[in-house]
Every structure is written in C-alpha cells, then in structure tokens.
Chain A
Amino acid sequence: MTDRLPNRPYDATVHFDHQNLVYGVFSMFDTLLLAQVNVTWHMVPLALAISLVYSASRYELPEHILVRALRLFLQILGFMGGAFLVLWVLTYGL
C-alpha cells in the first residue's frame, strides 16, 4: 500500500491499490472455480471431456454430438450426485 504523502488530503483515486485489486479478482476467480476448495470439482471438466469424446466417437453430425454429450454429461453428474447423496446420508452423524 502506498504511504499517504504529508500535507495532502486523502484521495481515493490516487491511493487506489491496483495490485490488491488484481489479487482480489484472482482470489474470487479461484473461489468461483472451487477447485482450490475441493478436488472433487475437477471431476466436472473430466466428465465434460469424456462426454464430448464418447459422443463424438458415436455420431458424426456436430449438433448431435453436442446434444448427446450434454445428455451424457448430465447423466454422469446425476449419477455422481446420487452417489454423493447416498454417501452423505450414510455418513450422517459420524
């Protein structure tokens, strides 16, 4: 943080800390990604890539690939979410 100069009124525009702003934005980005919080969130792009490649190997037309990939992606997420819920219920109170 830049020190305030003597005999000069505080001016927020002068003392605006760009370094802290950049750091804050990246911190927020990290938090939004949530990858720093729990490694399980890495499964989302993994499921997306698997869905895309699998669907691309089944169909030729791009629009069908995307629709099928989205459906498969949601199925995978749903299955993982269901497994998470079951485990969460089973571990309740432990």
Chain B
Amino acid sequence: MSLSSPSPHPRPWDEKNSFVAGILAYLVPGAGHLFQGRTAKGLIYFFSILGLFFWGQKMGEGMVVYNLPEKGSVLKYVSLSYAAQLGAGVSALPAFLQNRRAANPVNHTIRHPSRPLIENFEGRLVPTDNDAEGVLVGTIRVEPVEGGEFRGTFEGTMDGKPAKLALGGSSFELAPAIKAGFRRKVTCGLENSAAAFPIKVIEGTIPRPFVDAYASPPDADQLQEINGRLGKTYELAMVFTWIAGLLNVLAIWDCVLGPAYGFGDEHLKVKPTEVSNASQAPKTATAPVTTTSVSTVPPVAASAPPTHSDGPPPKSSI
C-alpha cells in the first residue's frame, strides 16, 4: 500500500471492492472514485480525462480514435496510437467493433442504389464548360430503377436561390456506410447528362449516423485530406486523446491502491514513532515535542497533538 503509516483519515479505497472499483475506473474515468465515495477526485478525473479526450475528438473532427493495426507491428491487434487511447475506457472501446464492421465485405462503396435514399444534402454542382456552378443545400431523393440505374431529384437552394435538379442515369457513388467522419460522400449525375462530356454531377455529403461514424477507421484518402487541411491541429488532437488514455492509468492506480504520496497533510502530524519516543522522555521535560518533520511549522501547530488519530492520543510531554 502506498501509505505506510497509520492515517487519521478513512481509506475509502480499502472499504469497497477494489476489483469493481478498478473496472469502473477504467470504463468511465472517475466512476470508480464515485463508487468509493471519493466524489471530488471522481469529478476531477471525469472532467479532466474525458474533457481532454472529447476535445481531441472535436479538434480532429471525429477521425482521431480508430484502430488500424499495422502489419509487422509488435502490437498485433491494436495500433500504437489506439493502445494509448484505449486507456480512456468505454469512450475508446467502440473502435474495436467498428474496425470489424468496417472490414465487412458488405460495407463498400455503393454504385448502384438498391433502395430509396432521402437525406439532407450539402454540396455543390460540379462546374462544367459554360455551366452554372454553385453551393447546394437541400434534400436529395434517389430511388433505383431497372437496369442498375437510378433517378431522383435535388430540392433546395443553389447559392441561396431555390433550385430543383433532376437526377438520373448510372453515375452514382455513395461512400461506405461505416467509415470515419460524420458526413458521407455522395455523387449523383444529372438526368440526361450521360451523353454530355464531362458528365454533369452534383457532389457533396449526407449525414452519417453516429453509430456508424464514431471510432470508425478512416481510409488513406481521408487521412491525407484531414492532415493537409488541419495540419498540426490534427496531430495535437491525437496527442489530446493519447494523454487522456494514459492519464486514466494514473486514475485507475489511485482508485485501486490509493494516492501515491498520501493524503497531503502528513507534514502537519507527528509520526507515531516520534510520539512514542517523546512519551518516554522524563516527565520533567518542558520542551514541546519537536521533530525534524514538524520543525518548519508554527509553534502552535507543532506543539498541538495530532488530530483525528487512529491510535490512542499521545501522552502529553509536559
């Protein structure tokens, strides 16, 4: 145990099941301390560690926590980056599952829609020669037709003005459902544009559900794009999540074994061995009990008997 001498304070980490507390502390930073009744420390851990972790997630636009093990690495099932993030507990654990889901052959780029799609769309009309271009915001409706083609509409605004575009043909591409990023890329050709070259298309994104986006692995293109766009902010986002995971190791240790140095007020108390030595001193001694450990505190505090002691109160030296 980290505290070697009897303490005047209760030791809550010894009063509850350490195993349960440790598991809770791992799953949710601070939860183990709350389980033990150490509310202040629990809240410090909870807000500090999870605050760092989710701040990093936000800075990295949700593409920070993922598990892509490298071939030939010492760690076979986790990447080194994810190993550090894994300490943050249940916030990082989904990456294991998302990695498997993303690797499922069913999760691929869709080029022939098999069922209707109605989603909010943000993107642009790709400029072609002598054509208008603009920012599109609205709703996209796509449904499959025979022959592997599709048809649909876009209704909304282009550059802030109402616009309605007819979609159709065979030029359709929808990014995999399970992938990093909370927006899913989609490209649709305009109706009757197959004969034209280049094909007129709208390209943009539709929302990706949280359960499909959170902790999912990005592909190489996404990583390159976000590194180029965010630069060192993305690297700092990774660092935030790594440090959050590693800090939780300290929190788990504290939850199971108690604080490393003690309660923090030991310097105000007299050590029991020194008290027993003092009690054996001649009764005629009038000097207060002074030790090297208490010599720096004010005389009042030094001569006062230790408070909240677990053992019997020391005999007066007077």
Segment of A19-27, A42-50, A76-84, A86-94 engaged in the interface with chain B: A42-50
Could you tell me if A39 and B236 are in contact, using CB atoms closer than 8 angstroms? yes
| Inter-chain CB contacts under 8 Å: number | 78
Could you tell me if B247 and A49 are in contact, using CB atoms closer than 8 angstroms? yes
Contact with B along A25-63 (1 / 0, CB 8 A): 000000000000001001001101110111011111111
**Shortest distance between the CB of A18 and any CB in chain B (Å):** 21
Known: A42-B59, A53-B251, A65-B44. A58 touches B51 (CB 8 A): no
Could you tell me if B240 and A39 are in contact, using CB atoms closer than 8 angstroms? no
Contact with A along B249-277 (1 / 0, CB 8 A): 01101100011111111000000000000
Known: A42-B59, A64-B263, A68-B264. A54 touches B258 (CB 8 A): no
Q: Is the interface of A mostly helix, strand, loop or mixed?
A: helix
Bound CA span A42–B41, Å: 24
Could you tell me if B250 and A61 are in contact, using CB atoms closer than 8 angstroms? no
Could you tell me if A45 and B250 are in contact, using CB atoms closer than 8 angstroms? no
B303 within 8 Å of A by Cβ?
Answer: no
Bound CA span A62–B44, Å: 10
Could you tell me if B52 and A57 are in contact, using CB atoms closer than 8 angstroms? no
Bound CA span A61–B51, Å: 22
Could you tell me if B44 and A58 are in contact, using CB atoms closer than 8 angstroms? no
Chain A interface residue bracket vs B: 20 to 34
**Shortest distance between the CB of B249 and any CB in chain A (Å):** 9
Could you tell me if A59 and B263 are in contact, using CB atoms closer than 8 angstroms? yes
Could you tell me if B264 and A46 are in contact, using CB atoms closer than 8 angstroms? no
Known: A49-B51, A50-B243, A65-B264. A57 touches B250 (CB 8 A): yes
Known: A42-B59, A53-B247. A59 touches B232 (CB 8 A): no
Interfacial chain B residues near A63, Cβ < 8 Å: 264
Bound CA span A11–B174, Å: 52
**Shortest distance between the CB of B31 and any CB in chain A (Å):** 14
**Shortest distance between the CB of B277 and any CB in chain A (Å):** 27
Interfacial chain B residues near A49, Cβ < 8 Å: 48-49, 51-52, 243-244, 247
**Shortest distance between the CB of B87 and any CB in chain A (Å):** 12
Could you tell me if A56 and B45 are in contact, using CB atoms closer than 8 angstroms? yes
Interfacial chain A residues near B59, Cβ < 8 Å: 42
Could you tell me if A60 and B262 are in contact, using CB atoms closer than 8 angstroms? yes
Q: Which of A52, A57, A62 has the most CB of B within 10 A?
A: A57
- Which residues 1-27 of A sit at the B interface, judged by CB distance below 8 A? none
**Shortest distance between the CB of A72 and any CB in chain B (Å):** 13
Known: A45-B55, A46-B240, A65-B41. A59 touches B49 (CB 8 A): no
Known: A42-B236, A49-B49. A59 touches B262 (CB 8 A): yes
- Which residues 34-81 of B sit at the A interface, judged by CB distance below 8 A? 38, 40-41, 44-45, 48-49, 51-52, 55, 59
Bound CA span A10–B258, Å: 69
Could you tell me if A61 and B265 are in contact, using CB atoms closer than 8 angstroms? yes
Cross-chain contact of A60 among B240, B250, B264 (Cβ < 8 A): B264
Bound CA span A54–B261, Å: 11
**Chain A residue with minimal CB distance to B257?**
A57
Interfacial chain A residues near B49, Cβ < 8 Å: 49, 53
Bound CA span A9–B178, Å: 59
What 6 new A-B contacts, CB under 8 Å, besides A49-B49, A56-B259?
A49-B244, A50-B247, A59-B259, A59-B263, A60-B9, A62-B41
Can you list 7 A-B pairs, Cβ within 8 angstroms, ordered by A? Answer: A39-B233, A39-B236, A46-B52, A53-B44, A53-B247, A56-B45, A56-B259
